[in-house]
């Protein structure tokens, strides 16, 4: 088997974490391609190295006084090197970084050095060849990821390379300039490498034992999802569940490669498998619960609305003209409701109301603010009768008033709207009815 293994920032925050990672890699000879992140936080109140690099580069571009901040970053890496008992020197690397920062090379280069340096240390510590991501991950000149060229470069470079360390988060454009993915982009690098070499599994090691049924900040010690499909995870991620960078899913999904979310601090845990499809049944009717606060609704009422061809299109045109994306649009015979992010809408609410009056001539326009949306997701809901009824029963017992319900045709998820103040209570009520009581 061929496994690509990506380790997050918390997994490589210090020398002790490096030692854990080394043990994980050595325990399975199939773990052959390693994607390291930059060092994360070692403790509460600590600063991630990537944030230190951003701050250092801002100082270089601003006052020009950045030497002390760069020394602090160098010292952070030196602690890792010394803790691992390595004899390597990073003096040349930091001198090059200093010169490039002073020359204003660019913020992407600055941010990428965290992964680059961690990759260098990992390669020496594990005695595995180092491959600079800038040589094998390619972007076009407009900053778009070039999948075809990247696949070609990676396959050519790795065809005779049985093992390798490839730092995450960045690549380069044709002119050699460093380009990064968005924050959390090491997940994407791991997925890209897994796709290129047609790996059997992509293991993503972090500080949790998989994808949880719901937010542990709301429900204490929630169950871990054993197996989740790409579609289910997409729904959960969209509504706030953030274990994996969402762009990391597409490269491996195209190749049918499963992702295994694992815990560096509990390597004995199986974690969560993310797959295209599965015949495995979840122990619960639902797979997960996720949600967000901070929405508002705009309710448009008009008699005989259902007979007006193009009514819905004209309503949404008003929001598009103002640059506002919508979340959900439940409707009735004479009503049409649009849910949007309140922060996006507030500054443009009067322009939207004026636009609605011009384009659709409503009888009434009403708005409600401070709403939350909750997604209840699960492939098992399609074959289980009464799921929505159980949700409403649980919410009624918890004295939560439901403001909206929306279920897609796939029956993969049910979206519920509640007031912000009822959000946590609603999530706990749904979790309790489906997971704790297993109804």
State the pLDDT confidence band at 183, using cuts at 50, 70 and 90.
confident
The domains located in the chain, with CATH, are: 3-207 (3.40.1160.10), 288-436 (3.30.2130.10)
Name the pLDDT band for 161 (thresholds 50, 70, 90): very high
Kindly report the CA angle at 35 between 165 and 231, in degrees rounded to 5? 150
**What is the predicted pLDDT for the residue at 236?**
87
Q: What pLDDT was estimated at residue 383?
A: 75
Residue 243 — pLDDT band, cuts 50, 70, 90?
confident
Q: Which residues of 20-51 are buried (b: 16+ CB within 10 A; e: fewer)?
A: bbeebbeeeeebbbbbbbbbbebeeeeebbbb
Q: Which of 6-15, 92-101, 196-205, 272-281 has the lowest mean pLDDT?
A: 272-281
For the cut 90, the answer to whether the pLDDT of residue 323 exceeds it is yes
Residue range 14-36, pLDDT digits in tens: 999 999 999 999 999 999 999 99
On the 0-12 / 13-18 / 19+ scale of CB atoms within 10 A, 438 is exposed
- Specify the pLDDT at position 421: 97
Mean local confidence (pLDDT), 46-67:
96
> Percent of the chain beyond pLDDT 90?
84
Average pLDDT of the chain?
94
* Sheet with 164-165, side-by-side order of all strands: 164-165, 31-36, 3-7, 201-206, 259-263, 272-275, 227-229
Res. 416 pLDDT band, cuts 50 70 90: very high
pLDDT at 439 over 70: no
Percent above pLDDT 70 for the chain: 99
Does residue 350 register a pLDDT over 70? yes
Segment 175-199 shows an average pLDDT of 94
């Amino acid at each position: 088997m061929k496994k690509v293994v990506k380790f997050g920032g918390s997994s490589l925050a210090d020398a002790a974490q490096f030692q854990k990672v080394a043990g994980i890699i050595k325990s399975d000879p199939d773990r052959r391609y390693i994607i390291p992140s930059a060092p994360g936080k070692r403790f509460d109140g600590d600063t991630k190295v990537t944030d230190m690099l951003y701050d250092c580069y801002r100082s270089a571009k601003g006052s020009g006084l950045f030497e002390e901040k760069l020394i602090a970053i160098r010292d952070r890496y030196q602690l890792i090197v010394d803790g691992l008992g390595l004899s390597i020197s990073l003096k040349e690397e930091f001198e090059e970084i200093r010169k490039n920062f002073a020359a204003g090379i660019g913020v992407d280069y600055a941010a990428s050095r965290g992964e680059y340096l961690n990759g260098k240390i990992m390669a020496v510590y594990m005695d595995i060849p180092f491959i600079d991501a800038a040589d094998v991950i390619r972007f076009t000149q407009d900053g778009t990821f070039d999948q075809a060229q990247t696949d070609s470069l990676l396959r050519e470079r790795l065809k005779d390379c049985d093992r390798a360390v490839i730092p995450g988060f960045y690549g380069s454009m044709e002119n050699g300039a460093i380009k990064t993915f968005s924050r959390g982009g090491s997940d994407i690098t791991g997925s890209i490498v897994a796709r290129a070499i047609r790996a059997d599994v992509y293991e993503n090691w972090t500080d949790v034992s998989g994808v949880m049924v719901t937010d542990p900040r709301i429900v204490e010690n929630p169950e871990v999802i054993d197996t989740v499909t790409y579609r289910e995870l997409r729904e959960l991620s969209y509504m706030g569940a953030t274990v994996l960078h969402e762009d990391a899913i597409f490269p491996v999904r195209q190749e049918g490669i499963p992702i295994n979310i694992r815990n560096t601090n509990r390597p004995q845990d199986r974690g969560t498998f993310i797959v295209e499809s599965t015949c495995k049944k979840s122990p619960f009717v639902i797979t997960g619960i996720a949600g967000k606060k901070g929405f508002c609704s705009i309710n448009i009422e008009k008699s005989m609305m259902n007979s007006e061809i193009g009514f819905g299109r004209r309503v949404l045109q008003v929001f598009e003209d103002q640059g506002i994306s919508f979340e959900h649009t439940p409707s009735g015979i004479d009503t049409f409701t649009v849910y949007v992010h309140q922060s996006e809408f507030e500054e443009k609410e009067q322009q939207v109301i004026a636009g609605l009056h011009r384009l659709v001539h409503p009888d009434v326009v009403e708005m409600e603010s401070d709403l939350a949306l909750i997604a209840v997701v699960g492939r098992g809901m399609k074959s289980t009768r009464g799921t929505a009824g159980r949700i409403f029963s649980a919410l009624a017992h918890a004295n939560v008033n439901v403001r909206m319900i929306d279920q897609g045709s796939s029956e993969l998820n049910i979206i519920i709207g509640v007031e912000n103040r009822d959000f946590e209570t609603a999530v706990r009520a749904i979790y309790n009815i489906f997971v704790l009581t297993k109804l």
